[in-house]
Structure 1
Amino acid sequence: MEYSPPPLFKQGAPARVKMTLFACISIALLLADARMNALKTVRQVVGTVLYPLQMVALLPRDAIYGVGDYFSSLSSLEKQVRDLKQQQIASAQALQQAQLYNAENAQLRKLLDARERVPGKSLLAEILYDARDSSSRKIVLDRGIQQGVQLGLPVIDNQGVVGQVTRVFPFTSEVTLLTDKEQAIPVQVLRNGLRSVAYGRGQSGQLELRFVAAQQTDNVQVNDILITSGLDGVYPAGLAVARVTQVENSNGVFGRVVCQPLAGIQSHSQLLILMTPPDMPARPPEEEPFKPNKKSKAKEMAKEVQGTAAPATAAGAQPAVPGAAPAAAPATAPAARQAAAGTPAVAPPATSPAVRQVAAAPAATPPAPAQAVPPPRAAAPAAPVAARPAAHGAANDTQTR
């Protein structure tokens, strides 16, 4: 019975021989593939068969690389998103700033056009803030005494009148809007020239035409444009003021007209201050009160003496006897005669000191004969006629003395 050795202990060709054999085969295959491309098909078939095995073997590596790429790309994307958001905010701010600049540019162009249309010198000003008083309609501008701003100067924009300078500081000035309750402006309707005065209505931001006669409200219509009439000497004539929004005809004496100002400060911050007041004709000089001099006073006193001497002598006054007091009875004689004739007695006018002196002077000649009493209706004008001889006799007596 034959026993063969186990396969592990079988001895074949030596390992050196095997290595040499396989090396020669490899060299031959390399030469055949390099020279004749004989193994190209075999290589493609083997690569196709082994490709799934290669992919399965590379899965752990690809998974590790994928996880690393995921986290790195996530962080980079988050950073990119943050950068884009910041750029978007900056772009939005730049866009808003550009829009603001465009609006200001358009507003400044309109103000320049209005500046060319308005006669006289004007000053560009910017609104700083509203006044602190909430019950009034006032704003503060960045122009003051240093720039030549004065009280009472009108302030306008490209659409119409805004208000009037009511307070001036060295570097700022306060402007009261037309809608303030204490403001009023003379206006006229552009369509028919009807004149009136517009008053502010306070917080409502509107104007009102007060004391418009009921028959004149028919001449005012909705959407009528009101312009300055220039009668106040502050606002130049022809500036737009407001648009009529409501007309009410009441049963009373006056109607009610409500207007909306055309100018406004809500959409822009630049205004024009009219530095040159409107050209108005000079006012006539005031007449001084008449002051009479001493000569004219003396003439007036002489006239009064002549006028009062005539009634006193015409009443029947007789020259006084030397050394005796003047009689008072003749002074009341005309009143007694008038009472007897049925007419009311008139008190004799008071005599001046000069007349008393003439009456008290002693007469050298007999008194003039009494003349007839005139009719009652002509008692006042007849007194000077009877007084002329007596006064003339008294003057002659004084001359003879």
Structure 2
Amino acid sequence: MAGIDHAPPPFFKRGPAPLALLTFYVAISLALFVVDLRFRSLDLFRQSIALLVDPVQRVAQTPGSLVDYAANYLQGMRELQHENSELKHAQLNTAPNLQRLLQLEAENERLRKLLAVKEREKANGQVAQILYTARDPFSRKVIVDKGQQSGIVAGQPAIDEAGVVGQVTRVFPFSAEITLITDKDQAVPVQIVRSGHRSVVFGLGNGQLELRYMPANADVQVGDILVTSGLDSVYLPGFPVAKVVNIERDSAYSFARIFCVPVAGVENFGEIMVLDPRQPLPPAPPESAGRGGDLGDRAGLRQKKKRAAKSN
């Protein structure tokens, strides 16, 4: 047994040593890495490999994608069912109020006709897209994509889904300029919803407004909502304008400083509605007319007294 030779048979061919093979492959890899890094010579080969491997990757990802799709589908179905249930409950809760509202509107219309009261003006208009802000950094103005070709004229009010945005100040053939209510030169007649007090709100140029000409002891509270009073010939009454956020009262001054923020998205970009021009208000009767009427009545009484004296 000691004479047995453990050498491989001559028909097995021995290759290079493993360490030599490792060194050779490492050298080949480094060479390919340097050549590809400097000359980008393997991009086509890499793209070809990716093109061949991509279908395999897609097939391998298919089970996971199907599971994710099924999970998202089931979650969406549950959310839709939940939203549908909430909407049905909300519809049932608001149905009595809506029915009463229709009845009240019909009753209000009948009473107006009975009392011959003039109906309120309808708020009609057209939607415009805000393109950009004006170039003047000291003003609050925006440019919309509607102009003279759409029938826009200076003085029309602009609103969004929340309240008053501003007023058209200049009109161009295919665009128009709208001065926002926060501009320092803009003023809007308003009314406090809670107390009914009327006043004027002015823009401060910094995104806020100030309610002026209110006495220091006026019934104004933080959180009060201001709406258009309709006393001018621009805004229809009842549109939300601003919300009171701060009140400064000083006994040394007759008026309080009341700061507000706009209710509408004045500083946001989006779509707004330019309302149709308001019907002009009837002119106020001149004072001279009243005085002339009094003088005429007095002259008529004098003539009647003279005729009565002559007849006696």
Deviation at 1:137, TM superposition (A): 2.3
Q: Hey, what's the Cα distance between the residues in 1 that align with 2:232 and 2:195?
A: 20
The answer as to whether partners of 1:131 and 1:140 remain within 8 angstroms in 2 is: yes
Q: Hey, what's the Cα distance between the residues in 2 that align with 1:63 and 1:215?
A: 90
| Per-residue Cα deviation, 1:110-141 (whole angstroms, up to 9, x for no partner) | xxxxxxxx953322222233334343322222
- 2:216 aligns to what? 214
- 1:174 aligns to what? 177
Q: Quick one: structure 1 residues 181 and 49, their matched pair in 2 at CA, closer, same or farther if it must change by over 3 Å? A: same
Unaligned runs of 5+ in 1: 1-41, 81-117, 307-401
The one-letter amino acid of 2:228's match is: T
Deviation at 1:232, TM superposition (A): 1.5
Q: Report how many residues are paired.
A: 213
Q: Hey, what's the Cα distance between the residues in 1 that align with 2:20 and 2:255?
A: 104
Q: Hey, what's the Cα distance between the residues in 1 that align with 2:263 and 2:11?
A: 87
Secondary structure of the equivalent of 2:211?
strand
- 2:83 paired with 1:120: no
Deviation at 1:260, TM superposition (A): 1.1
The answer as to whether partners of 2:223 and 2:243 remain within 8 angstroms in 1 is: yes
- 2:272 paired with 1:271: yes
- 2:239 paired with 1:236: no
- 2:33 aligns to what? 70
- 1:156 aligns to what? 159
Secondary structure of the equivalent of 1:181?
coil
Q: Hey, what's the Cα distance between the residues in 2 that align with 1:272 and 1:47?
A: 97
Q: Quick one: structure 1 residues 63 and 265, their matched pair in 2 at CA, closer, same or farther if it must change by over 3 Å? A: same
Deviation at 1:64, TM superposition (A): 5.3
Larger radius of gyration: 1
The one-letter amino acid of 1:245's match is: V
Deviation at 1:61, TM superposition (A): 5.3
Q: Hey, what's the Cα distance between the residues in 2 that align with 1:156 and 1:47?
A: 99
Identity %: 41
- Cα-Cα RMSD: 4.0
The answer as to whether partners of 1:188 and 1:229 remain within 8 angstroms in 2 is: yes
- 1:225 aligns to what? 225
Unaligned runs of 5+ in 2: 48-120, 307-312
Deviation at 1:255, TM superposition (A): 1.5
The answer as to whether partners of 1:196 and 1:212 remain within 8 angstroms in 2 is: yes
Q: Quick one: structure 1 residues 43 and 144, their matched pair in 2 at CA, closer, same or farther if it must change by over 3 Å? A: farther
Q: Quick one: structure 1 residues 50 and 122, their matched pair in 2 at CA, closer, same or farther if it must change by over 3 Å? A: same
Give the TM-score normalised by structure 2: 0.56
Deviation at 1:183, TM superposition (A): 1.6
The answer as to whether partners of 1:121 and 1:276 remain within 8 angstroms in 2 is: no
Higher relative helix content: 1
1:251-330 aligned within 5 A: 251=251, 252-277=253-278, 282=282
Q: Quick one: structure 1 residues 68 and 157, their matched pair in 2 at CA, closer, same or farther if it must change by over 3 Å? A: same
Secondary structure of the equivalent of 2:214?
strand
- 2:207 aligns to what? 205
The answer as to whether partners of 2:180 and 2:266 remain within 8 angstroms in 1 is: no
The one-letter amino acid of 2:211's match is: L
Q: Hey, what's the Cα distance between the residues in 1 that align with 2:276 and 2:144?
A: 14
Q: Hey, what's the Cα distance between the residues in 2 that align with 1:195 and 1:173?
A: 30
Q: Hey, what's the Cα distance between the residues in 2 that align with 1:51 and 1:282?
A: 115
Secondary structure of the equivalent of 1:212?
coil
1:33-48 aligned within 5 A: 45-46=8-9
The answer as to whether partners of 2:244 and 2:260 remain within 8 angstroms in 1 is: yes
Secondary structure of the equivalent of 1:254?
coil
| Per-residue Cα deviation, 1:243-275 (whole angstroms, up to 9, x for no partner) | 111112221322221111122343323221112
| Per-residue Cα deviation, 1:13-65 (whole angstroms, up to 9, x for no partner) | xxxxxxxxxxxxxxxxxxxxxxxxxxxxx999448996464546656754553
Q: Hey, what's the Cα distance between the residues in 2 that align with 1:227 and 1:246?
A: 17
- 1:39 aligns to what? none
The answer as to whether partners of 2:208 and 2:262 remain within 8 angstroms in 1 is: yes
Deviation at 1:180, TM superposition (A): 2.1
Q: Hey, what's the Cα distance between the residues in 2 that align with 1:250 and 1:134?
A: 33
Q: Hey, what's the Cα distance between the residues in 1 that align with 2:23 and 2:133?
A: 72
Q: Quick one: structure 1 residues 285 and 224, their matched pair in 2 at CA, closer, same or farther if it must change by over 3 Å? A: closer
The answer as to whether partners of 2:228 and 2:239 remain within 8 angstroms in 1 is: yes
Structure scoring higher RCO (CA < 8 A, sep ≥ 6) equals 2
- 1:196 aligns to what? 199
The one-letter amino acid of 2:250's match is: S
Secondary structure of the equivalent of 2:213?
strand
1:140 to 129, 140, 143: 143
Q: Quick one: structure 1 residues 67 and 135, their matched pair in 2 at CA, closer, same or farther if it must change by over 3 Å? A: closer
Q: Hey, what's the Cα distance between the residues in 1 that align with 2:193 and 2:11?
A: 97
Deviation at 1:167, TM superposition (A): 1.4
